[in-house]
């Protein structure tokens, strides 16, 4: 990405960084010309839909049924799949109404096998690691990557090493990594510190790094873009809104949409906008202060622990996608995230806190007049609501936000918070509550 030099797959170094220090991106030489290796769009669309009916697990996977778009394996028998992808595209009618918009949808990547969008990239990168005969895989994580990696490694019969910032990840995610048999090390540092330590480990031990600097992760993680287009009959939304942490997901989806257009599968690309939490906003600052030329790491702080990241690895890729697609960058407060999360819950869908920055960000973009009522918008929801139940319960009990945080959203909290009612086990008492709630 930095010096524009190209290397063959076999020459990739274990830290997935070029000598210039920047990240790699996978490119497919056959796609550049008009040669016979360039895939045929109509044939592909037909084939990809047809595969969903197949008896083969790899054909049904929402990642590998698009395998012509990610020819990264030498042998398809290397595929390690948990039936990832094929996630729903939900309408959010109540949120759309509130925002005065015609059509608002959510692509729910939390509906993946381990409950987050990471599975799409993990099946790709772990299958490559298996093909290369690694015994160990490793990642630093705010939780979801570790859960996903541990599950796929277990399926493949490989060992996994997880570095987590101690006390700063949601229990659901930690429980998953433990249950899937990972070696879980909780380091006395933050996510960015875990990344630094792991870089040192990878230099000295034969482990395959599965953080999103691994370019094969991005290849899998671009497939939700294909699914969105397929779910919209090969149209694309006007606008896609993505949460920003380490900034791999925005990069991956941008790559997916741009490649689809280049291959003639779709006619255009959506704007791709990235939303960060105010306390973990290095990209927002980089865009505002330097136009995306430089990024100063920040000390990250947010209750949306998945995106508590101060020094995002893929920021250059994200800047390129935002520029190329005409997207925006915005930040949202803790209270705005909490309210948006409850609103997505009240649609019967739910998501984890980091995903809710998308709806909170959309509200801001609407207020700023950056999009019209008719624009079709898709929010990318990254994690399942069960990932972080503590956050949800604290919110509904009124224990999550401080008073100064709550004040600007007091009205919303009044209608959204649903605490439980403790009472005697008597029919009359239950009926009284039922009547009160119906009023
Ligand atoms: N949403 C969720 C639920 C996440 O877990 C993450 C990142 C993001 C959004 C941000 O995506 O990093 O590609 O910009 N989680 C990572 C992890 C870093 O370790 O699980 P990004």
Report the atom number in ligand 1 closest to the C-alpha of 246: 12
The tokens for 322 are 């935002």
With 0-12 / 13-18 / 19 or more C-beta atoms within 10 angstroms meaning exposed / middle / buried, residue 186 is middle
Residue 8 — φ and ψ, nearest 5°? -80, 155
Residue 28 has pLDDT above 80, yes or no: yes
- Give the per-residue pLDDT at 259: 96
What mean pLDDT is predicted for residues 247-260?
Answer: 97
Instruction: State the Rg of the chain over Cα.
Output: 22
Ligand 1 pocket, residue 357 CB under 6 Å: no
Report the atom number in ligand 1 closest to the C-alpha of 144: 20
Ligand 1 pocket, residue 144 CB under 6 Å: yes
- Give the per-residue pLDDT at 250: 97
At 380, the pLDDT band (50, 70, 90 cuts) reads very high
By 3-state DSSP, what share of the chain in percent is helix, strand and coil, each rounded to 5?
50, 10, 40
Determine which residue's CA is closest to atom 7 belonging to ligand 1: 306
- Give the per-residue pLDDT at 37: 66
Closest to 85 measured CA to CA, from 239, 193, 243, 227 = 227
Least-confidence region, from 25-34, 183-192, 283-292, 425-434 = 25-34
Ligand 1 pocket, residue 352 CB under 6 Å: yes
pLDDT single digits (tens) 60-116: 999 999 999 999 999 999 999 999 999 999 999 999 999 999 999 999 999 999 999
- Parallel, antiparallel, or unpaired for β 239-243 and 207-209? unpaired
Closest to 106 measured CA to CA, from 277, 367, 389, 351 = 351
Q: What angle do CA 58, 209, 386 make, to 5 degrees?
A: 65
358 and 273 in contact (C-beta within 8 Å)?
no
Residue 43 Cα to ligand 1 middle (Å): 34
Residue 364 has pLDDT above 90, yes or no: yes
Residue 357 Cα to ligand 1 middle (Å): 12
Ligand 1 pocket, residue 245 CB under 6 Å: yes
Residue 38 has pLDDT above 90, yes or no: no
What mean pLDDT is predicted for residues 415-435?
Answer: 95
At 35, the pLDDT band (50, 70, 90 cuts) reads low
- Give the per-residue pLDDT at 34: 63
What mean pLDDT is predicted for residues 42-57?
Answer: 96
Ligand 1 pocket, residue 143 CB under 6 Å: yes
| Entry pTM | 0.97
The tokens for 175 are 């429980």
What mean pLDDT is predicted for residues 309-316?
Answer: 96
Residue 388 has pLDDT above 80, yes or no: yes
Ligand 1 pocket, residue 44 CB under 6 Å: no
Residue 31 has pLDDT above 90, yes or no: no
Average pLDDT score, the chain: 96
Residue 307 Cα to ligand 1 middle (Å): 6
Best probe residue, ligand 1, of 246, 256, 295 (max atoms within 8 Å of C-beta): 246
pLDDT single digits (tens) 179-192: 999 999 999 999 99
- Give the per-residue pLDDT at 2: 85
Report the atom number in ligand 1 closest to the C-alpha of 274: 14
At 43, the pLDDT band (50, 70, 90 cuts) reads very high
Residue 320 Cα to ligand 1 middle (Å): 19
Ligand 1 pocket, residue 280 CB under 6 Å: no
| Buried/exposed code over 412-428 (b: 16+ C-beta within 10 A; e: otherwise) | bbeebbeeeeeeeeeee
More confident residue, 33 or 116: 116
Residue 52 Cα to ligand 1 middle (Å): 28
Residue 355 Cα to ligand 1 middle (Å): 9
Residue 396 Cα to ligand 1 middle (Å): 24
Ligand 1 pocket, residue 276 CB under 6 Å: no
Closest to 183 measured CA to CA, from 167, 164, 202, 157 = 164
Residue 216 has pLDDT above 80, yes or no: yes
Residue 434 Cα to ligand 1 middle (Å): 40
What mean pLDDT is predicted for residues 157-172?
Answer: 96
Ligand 1 pocket, residue 141 CB under 6 Å: yes
Best probe residue, ligand 1, of 108, 120, 142, 248 (max atoms within 8 Å of C-beta): 142
Ligand 1 pocket, residue 354 CB under 6 Å: yes
Residue 309 has pLDDT above 70, yes or no: yes
Q: Which stretches of 205-269 are DSSP H helices?
A: 215-221, 223-231, 248-262
How far is the C-alpha of 343 from the C-alpha of 109, rounded, in Å? 18
Ligand 1 pocket, residue 248 CB under 6 Å: yes
- Give the per-residue pLDDT at 183: 98
Report the atom number in ligand 1 closest to the C-alpha of 148: 20
- Give the per-residue pLDDT at 33: 65
Q: What are the structural domains of the chain?
A: 89-115+218-416 (3.40.50.1100)
């Amino acid at each position: 990405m930095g010096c524009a030099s190209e290397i063959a797959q076999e020459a990739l170094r274990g830290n997935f960084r070029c000598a210039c220090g920047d990240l790699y991106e996978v490119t497919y030489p056959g796609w550049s010309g008009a040669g016979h290796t360039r895939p045929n769009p109509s044939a592909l669309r037909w084939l990809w839909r047809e595969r969903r009916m197949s008896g083969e697990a790899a054909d049904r996977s929402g990642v590998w049924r698009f395998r012509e778009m990610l020819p990264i394996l030498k042998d398809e028998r290397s595929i390690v799949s948990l039936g990832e992808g094929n996630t729903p595209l939900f309408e959010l009618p109540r949120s759309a109404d509130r925002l005065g918009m015609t059509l608002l949808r959510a692509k729910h990547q939390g509906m993946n096998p381990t409950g987050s969008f990471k599975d799409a990239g993990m099946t790709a990168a772990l299958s490559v690691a298996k093909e290369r005969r690694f015994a160990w895989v490793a990642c630093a994580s705010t939780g979801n990557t570790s859960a996903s990696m541990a599950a796929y490694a277990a399926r493949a019969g490989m060992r996994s090493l997880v570095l987590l910032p101690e006390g700063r990840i949601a229990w659901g995610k930690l429980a998953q990594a433990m249950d899937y048999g990972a070696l879980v090390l909780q380091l006395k540092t933050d996510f960015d510190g875990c990344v630094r330590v792991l870089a040192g480990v990878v230099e000295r031990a034969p482990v395959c790094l599965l953080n999103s600097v691994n370019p094969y992760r991005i290849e899998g993680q671009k497939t939700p873009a294909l699914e969105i287009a397929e779910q919209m009959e090969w149209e694309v939304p006007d606008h896609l809104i993505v949460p920003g942490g380490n900034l791999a997901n925005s990069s991956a989806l941008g790559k997916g949409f741009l490649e689809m257009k280049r291959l003639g599968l779709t006619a255009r690309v959506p704007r791709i906008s990235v939303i960060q939490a105010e306390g973990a906003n290095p990209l927002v600052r980089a865009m505002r202060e330097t136009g995306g030329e430089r990024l100063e790491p920040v000390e990250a702080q947010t209750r949306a622990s998945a995106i508590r990241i101060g020094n995002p690895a893929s920021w250059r890729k994200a800047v390129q996608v935002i520029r190329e697609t005409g997207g925006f960058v915005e930040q949202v407060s803790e209270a705005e995230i909490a309210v948006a999360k409850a609103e997505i819950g009240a649609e019967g869908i739910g998501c984890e806190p980091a995903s809710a920055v998308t709806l909170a960000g959309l509200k801001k973009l609407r207020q700023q007049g950056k999009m019209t009522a008719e624009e079709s918008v898709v929010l990318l929801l990254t994690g399942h609501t069960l990932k972080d139940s503590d956050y949800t319960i604290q919110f509904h009990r009124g224990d999550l936000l401080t008073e100064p945080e709550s004040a600007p959203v007091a009205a919303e909290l009044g209608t959204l918070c649903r605490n439980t009612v403790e009472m005697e086990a008597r029919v009359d008492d239950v009926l009284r509550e039922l009547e009160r709630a119906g009023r």
